[in-house]
Amino acid sequence: MYWIALGLCLAIGMLTKYYAITLVGAIGLYIISTRQGRTQIGTPGPYAGALVFALLIYVHVDYVVDHRIGTVQHISDYFFLDSLPIRWKAVSFFLAQLIYLLPAVIAFMLATYSSSLSQRLRALLRFPNLPEHAGLIYVVMLFPLLITAIPGLVLGVDISSRWGGPILITAGIMLILQFPINLTSIQCRRIVVGSIVYAILVPLVMLAVISQGGVESRYNFPGKELASTVTRLWHDSFESKLELVGGGWMAPDSIAFHSIDHPSVLQHLSHQWSPWVRLRGSDTF
């Protein structure tokens, strides 16, 4: 039953974000590379989970391919084999993960404040005696990061630094495995206070940065206002529903999302990019 639930959860993860395939790979690697994992291969559980996963993904891929939706077809657009600058994306991806790790590391430092710094550093770098199956935590955290950064550096993949963020939720567990401790009430209080301060401070810093214009334009793009204006002008001029918008990707996507008419989007004014837009006679709709 647990294997079926795992297959279902992994399929849902894939339908949410294709990057979850790295999580699938990490679990598969753990199963075939560890003695504990290989003992499960002789049982029907892994095959039942894999069957559930494959069936759900097949339905999705079949629908996407049949309707010519570009989510799968345009994966190749992320590869720039001849571009040297794009390889910095892989480096920045890995550096970004260090920033995402900060909350867990800060909590660890607070919890072990009474220990010497050298002792904590040695504990972090050692290979601990792990409980049964605890090695899965390490594989789930490290495999997606490495399988993203290394091929991205070699093949020139346009990587987003945000891809690895969800995987790093396992970082806190890994720190506990590296440095098992019995927390005192004082240490627990430090973690709670530090977490509250962090939860308050981060949004304030983000708001300050946004107010200074130090973020990409898409984060403060006036999508609602643009959609309202364009839709109103169309209604006033043609007295009909706005069925299609076109252009790059930020403006038309914002209009399509926020407009009360929710028009289709002809991205980059290209039917190759927007196969969901059909031709009717000489007009596009």
pLDDT tens column, 128-163? 677 777 788 888 888 888 888 888 888 888 887 777
Q: Which of 56, 65, 66, 45 is nearest to 14 (CA)?
A: 56
For residues 98 and 64, state if they share a domain. no
> Is 192 contained in some domain?
no
Domain tally for the chain?
Answer: 3
Helix (H, G, I), strand (E, B) or coil at 249: coil
For residues 41 and 100, state if they share a domain. no
Which pLDDT band, with edges at 50, 70 and 90, does 284 fall under? very low
Q: How far apart are the first and last CA of the chain?
A: 47
Token pair belonging to 82 = 């001849």
Q: Which of 33, 52, 78 is a domain's end point?
A: 78
> Is 205 contained in some domain?
no
Domain span at 35:
2-78
For residues 74 and 105, state if they share a domain. no
Residue-wise pLDDT for 21-49, tens only, equals 888 998 999 888 888 888 888 899 899 99
Helix (H) or strand (E) holding 264: strand 264-267
Q: Comparing 221 with 180, which gets the higher pLDDT?
A: 221
Would you say 266 and 277 are in contact if contact means Cβ atoms under 8 Å apart?
yes
Question: Can you name the residues that pair with 265 across neighbouring β-strands?
Answer: 245
> Is 132 contained in some domain?
yes
Helix (H) or strand (E) holding 66: helix 45-66
For residues 93 and 169, state if they share a domain. yes
> Is 159 contained in some domain?
yes
For residues 70 and 50, state if they share a domain. yes
| pLDDT at 281 exceeding the cut of 50 | no
For residues 149 and 227, state if they share a domain. no
Average pLDDT, the chain: 80
C-alpha to C-alpha distance for 17 and 23, rounded to whole angstroms: 11
**Which residue has tokens 């291969």?**
41
Q: Which of 28, 44, 78 is a domain's end point?
A: 78
CA dihedral for 88, 172, 16, 12, sign (positive or negative): positive
Would you say 3 and 48 are in contact if contact means Cβ atoms under 8 Å apart?
yes
Helix (H, G, I), strand (E, B) or coil at 216: coil
> Is 211 contained in some domain?
no
> Is 202 contained in some domain?
no
> Is 254 contained in some domain?
yes
For residues 93 and 132, state if they share a domain. yes
Phi then psi dihedrals of residue 282, to 5 deg: -95, -5
**Which residue has tokens 């992320």?**
78
> Is 188 contained in some domain?
no
Residue-wise pLDDT for 108-126, tens only, equals 777 767 666 666 666 666 6
C-alpha to C-alpha distance for 152 and 96, rounded to whole angstroms: 14
Would you say 255 and 266 are in contact if contact means Cβ atoms under 8 Å apart?
no
pLDDT the model gives residue 283: 46
For residues 57 and 93, state if they share a domain. no
For residues 67 and 109, state if they share a domain. no
Sequence-separated (6 or more) residues with CB below 8 Å from residue 120: 108, 109, 112, 179
Q: Which of 246, 230, 227 is nearest to 238 (CA)?
A: 230
Q: Which of 21, 44, 78 is a domain's end point?
A: 78
CA dihedral for 247, 251, 253, 255, sign (positive or negative): negative
Cα dist from 173 to 16, 60, 134, 215, whole Å: 24, 33, 9, 32
Would you say 100 and 161 are in contact if contact means Cβ atoms under 8 Å apart?
no
Residue-wise pLDDT for 232-243, tens only, equals 999 999 989 999
The total number of residues shown for the chain amounts to 285
